[in-house]
Amino acid sequence: MEIQTHKEIDTKLLLELNAFMSEKAVVKATSLSRTSLHRKRLAGEFPEPLPLSEGRVGYRIRDVHDWLQDPAGWSKRGSGPRI
């Protein structure tokens, strides 16, 4: 029987809920600067944020998680609206 930590359980739940994260959280999770994040997005090398409300965007946690699994091999093709 595998014992899971609270962090592992929380991450699984957030992935299942298709939750969103702020740019600040993405910068912290990826160790990319805001400028590098922007450049990668423009080059199609990082997931695009989605509008959550007027003046507010969020990155889908699932997309960021997928990118973190293989940053060099990540492709826009598998990314897209999955609501």
What are the pLDDT tens digits along the chain (83 aa)?
555 555 555 666 666 667 899 999 999 999 999 999 999 999 999 999 999 999 999 999 889 989 999 998 888 755 544 44
Q: Which residues contact 44 (CB under 8 A, 6 or more apart)?
A: 76
Placement of tokens 């944020």 in the chain? 49
Could you tell me the domains of the chain?
6-77 (1.10.1660)
CA dist., res. 36 & res. 62, Å (int): 20
Give the distance, in angstroms, between the CA of residue 68 and the centroid of all CA atoms in the same chain: 8
Q: Which residues contact 82 (CB under 8 A, 6 or more apart)?
A: 18, 60, 62
- What the block records as the tokens of 14 is 């957030």
What pTM did the predictor assign? Answer: 0.73
H/E stretch holding 56: strand 56-60
